[in-house]
Structure formats: C-alpha cells, structure tokens
Structure 1
Amino acid sequence: MTGSLALDVDRIRREAQRTIDAGPVRSAYGPDIERVISVLNNVVAAEVVGWLRCTRQAILAHGTAPTPTSKLFEAQADRKMRHAVAVADRIVQLGGQPNFDPATLAQRARTDYSTADDAALRAMLEQNLLAARIVVPTYRQIAHWLGDRDPASRHLIESVLIDEKQNARDLTALLSASSNAPAPAPSPGRPLHRGTPDR
C-alpha cells in the first residue's frame, strides 16, 4: 500500500537500547547523578539511625505497659523506617544502589545515635527533638537543591520533611506538657509518595 508508514526498526531498536543503557533518569542529571544518589543515601542513613534510636527508646519507655511516650516513639520509628525504604526505592529507580552498610551509617546520618544512660524519658525526648531539628533544615535544603530536575525525588523528600516537622511538634508538645497533663496521641503520619522515574 502506497503512503503507508515505514518504520526504521533498526534505528528504533538502537535508540531504545541507548535509553535502557542510560538508566531510568540519568539523562536528566548528567554527571550530577552520583551526587544525587549519594545525598539520597545520606537521607537513608539518617532515617535508619533514627529508626534504631526511636525503637530502642520505645522499648525503654514501654516498660511493663504501653505509655503515651512509648507509643510516640513507636510511631516515629515506624515513620522513619518507611522513609528509609521509600528513599531507597527511589535510589534504585535512579539507577543507584541503596547503602544500608552498618559500618558507615552513623557517619552518613548527620544525626547522632546517642542514648541516655539513665533511660530518662525527658532525655530521650530531647535527643529526638535535637535530631529532628537537624534533619528538618537538612531535608529542606535537599528539596531546594533537587529543584525541578527531579520532581519525583523532591516530592518524596518533601513528604519526609512534613513527617519530620510533625515529629518535632509531637516531641515539643510532650516536653512542654506538665507531668499530670495527658500527653497527645502520636499523629499517624502521611502516606509517603514513592518516587517514580521521570519520563
């Protein structure tokens, strides 16, 4: 049939292979992709260290029965693990490898895995609040740095940032509450936006 669409199958195959070889979104970053993956791996480290800290504190605060403080620590630990997994997923989508190496977690985390020797609840709350006050401006800066180059990664970090701000508010409320006042229930957190590769 004259006028029919002629496809250059070889050319299409070559272009498709080049796209696959380039990785999911590497062309959007060029040489910066390794820096992006490194920064996201630092977020993974911070959230894993936070999960470890909050999990330990939840166990200590629980004692023989659940308390409002132990429930808050449990909720925050759960959020942090979900953050770490979601950001690790995004790293894979970017063609990288998530780094959960225990040998380097602490140095990449920016926050400190410190524990109160006497397991005092106020000291544990203060440790987590300090960590939140470190990661909130850090994540805000990362989201700004990502900008429009990778909206999926930026939206993911912004979702984590919203949760971390809520963590800070919950911790501040518990710290400022009097010993006889009922502590606020931990907020459930927002569903995380799991980044998808840009097309």
Structure 2
Amino acid sequence: MTATAVQSDVQGVRSRARQNIEQGAVTSRYSGHLPTVLKRLNDALATELVCVLRYRRHHFTARGIHSQAVAAEFLAHSNEEQAHADQLAARIVQLGGEPDFSPDSLARRSHVEYVEGAMLADMITENLVAERIAIDSYRDFIQYIGDQDPTTRRLLESILAIEEAHADELAALRNAVPGR
C-alpha cells in the first residue's frame, strides 16, 4: 500500500468515526448482525445467572462428609459465573443494548436448567451437566461470531476456558464423592 493510499484510508477512518457517533463502540465497520448478537449475549447472560443461582443454592444446601470442600467449590464457581454475567452485561451495554436481568424470563432464556439436586452427588452431576451445556453453547456462539466481532469472540473464548476448567473440576469431584 502506498503512502498516499494509507493517508487516504486514515482520512476515511476519521470521517467514518464522526458518523453515528451516538453508537459508541459500534462503528460502521461492525460486521456482526447486532440484534442477533445482542439476543445471544442476553441468552448467555441468562445462562450465567441461572448457574449463579444453582451454585449458590448448592453451596448452602450441600450436606455430607465431603460437603465442606464441595460447597466451597460451588461458591467459587458461583462467583466466577457472576463475573461472567457482569462481563456479558457490560458487553451488551457497550454494543448499545440492554442487559436483560428479568427474573420473569430468566429460566426460559437460559440454556441450562435450574435443578436443585437432593444429594451431594446429584448436585455435582447437575452442575457438571450445566457446564457441559454452557461449553457447547459458547462454542456455537464463538463459531457464529467468527471474525465479525473480535471483542465479543475474545470475551466468549475467555469465558469458555473457565467453563471447561469448571467441568474438569466437577468431573474430578464426581469421581471422588461416593453416592453416584
């Protein structure tokens, strides 16, 4: 590219930056389908919030000889899921959307179910199932995003890595706790 072409491109970038300035981070070069991206981000937000609630319940209701260590793990996972929810909500706002925290539609929008589980082994299993669902959901979303929105893709990839670590930890716990 010649120096003249580079200068011309800089002028184009400067000109485009002044257009639709009220859209903040969403510039004319954003190539994602914004309504779909926002809907999927809100579905991911709902999924994370349901996980927070399930992990919190399990933290407080875990009983049995191994419950103290497992309950501590549930609390740690709950806190990490809350951090994911916060990151997703912030990205939704950055893209000009509204994060949907409505309890009325939370379970319907979530990809995971809220299963209470009676026994410690059941709680571990239900959390592992939820993590596996989240993993596949994030992989699908990352594939959908592709190169259209690198910032959202990187956010989803960072969340996915933590969800995979959660699944590994829960699988190890499931093998260590009797009663399954």
TM-score above 0.5, yes or no: yes
Q: Quote how far apart the aligned CAs of 1:144 are.
A: 1.4
CA contact (8 A) 1:115 1:124 kept: yes
RMSD: 2.3
Give the whole-Å Cα distance in 1 for the aligned partners of 2:40 and 2:141.
8
Question: SS at 2:115's partner residue?
Answer: coil
CA distance, structure 1, for counterparts of residue 146 and residue 114 of structure 2: 30
Superposed, which structure 2 residues align to 1:1-199 within 5 Å? Answer: 18-25=19-26, 27-29=28-30, 32-61=33-62, 67-116=68-117, 119-177=118-176, 179=178
Identity of aligned residues (%): 37
Q: Please give the TM-score of this superposition, normalised by the length of structure 1.
A: 0.76
C-alpha deviation, 1:16, in angstroms: 5.6
Cα distance per residue 1:47-87 (max 9 Å; x no partner): 00000000010011278x97110011001000100000001
Q: Does the C-alpha gap of structure 1 residues 113 and 121 become closer, same or farther in structure 2, counting only changes over 3 Å?
A: same
Structure 1 segments of 4+ aligned residues over 3 angstroms from their partners? 14-17, 28-31
Relative to structure 1, is the Cα distance of residues 62 and 25 closer, same or farther in structure 2, using a 3 angstrom cutoff? Answer: farther
Q: 1:30 to 1:155 in 2, by over 3 A?
A: closer
State the one-letter code of the partner of 2:166: N
- Quote the Cα distance in structure 1 between the aligned partners of 2:29 and 2:120: 46
Question: In the alignment, is the contact (CA less than 8 A) between 1:91 and 1:98 conserved in 2?
Answer: yes
Shift of 1:21: 3.2
CA separation in 1, counterparts of 2:135 and 2:177? 26
Relative distance call for 1:30 and 1:129 in structure 2 (3 A) is same
The structure-2 alpha-carbon separation of the partners of 1:72 and 1:31, relative to structure 1 and needing over 3 Å to count, comes to closer
Q: Secondary structure at the match of 1:106?
A: helix
1:18 aligned counterpart, secondary structure: coil
Q: Which amino acid aligns with 2:170?
A: L
Q: CA deviation at 1:133?
A: 1.2
Distance 2:34 2:25 in 1: 11
Q: Could you tell me how far apart the structure 1 residues matched to 2:177 and 2:59 are?
A: 20
**Alignment gaps of 5+ in structure 1:** 1-13, 180-199
2:17–2:27 CA contact under 8 A, matched in 1: no
Matched pairs, number: 164
The Cα shift of 1:23 comes to 4.0
| SS class of match (1:149) | coil
Instruction: Quote the Cα distance in structure 1 between the aligned partners of 2:27 and 2:74.
Output: 38
CA distance in 2, matches of 1:139, 1:31: 16
